[in-house]
Amino acid sequence: MNILGSLMGKILGHSARESEGKANAARPASPAAPAAAPAASTATAAPPVVDVETVLETRAAGTKQTLDWRHSIVDLMKLVDIDSSLANRKALAQELGYTGDTNDSATMNVWLHKQVLRKLSENGGHVPANLLD
């Protein structure tokens, strides 16, 4: 899995999996029911909206480190247990189509942070407007 996919899975995936698990648990097992019917009904349902801020604040409360995930891509990556090394951030920048100088890590990091939050927002995450600016 790519780095962005890992980030999104760790932030958005927990609630989606929980909702899917609850839906499957509520569904009665019936040998007479066609196998395709449940898949078709879930395909039309909108994915659940995940409150990104709540997910990250909850994770931050469970760590002893002080991580400024609201402003730092390094801290955001650390918070979700993803390698935040420069090499990994350069790889993430490549995945996201960064065209700037990856040796200017400060500029790249600011861009990465904005792009990751934007991608979370585009893929079922509710990100506060002030974090998308």
Task: List, for residues 89-131, the tens digit of each pLDDT value.
Answer: 999 999 999 999 999 999 999 999 999 999 999 999 999 999 9
Q: Which of 37, 113, 25, 19 lies closest to 68, judged by CA?
A: 113
- Which two tokens mark 110? 């600011």
Q: Which residues contact 90 (CB under 8 A, 6 or more apart)?
A: 102, 108
Report if pTM > 0.85: no
pLDDT at residue number 47: 63
What is the identity of the amino acid at 116? V
* The predicted structure's pLDDT at residue 26: 40
Residue range 30-72, pLDDT digits in tens? 344 444 444 444 555 666 789 999 999 999 999 999 999 999 9
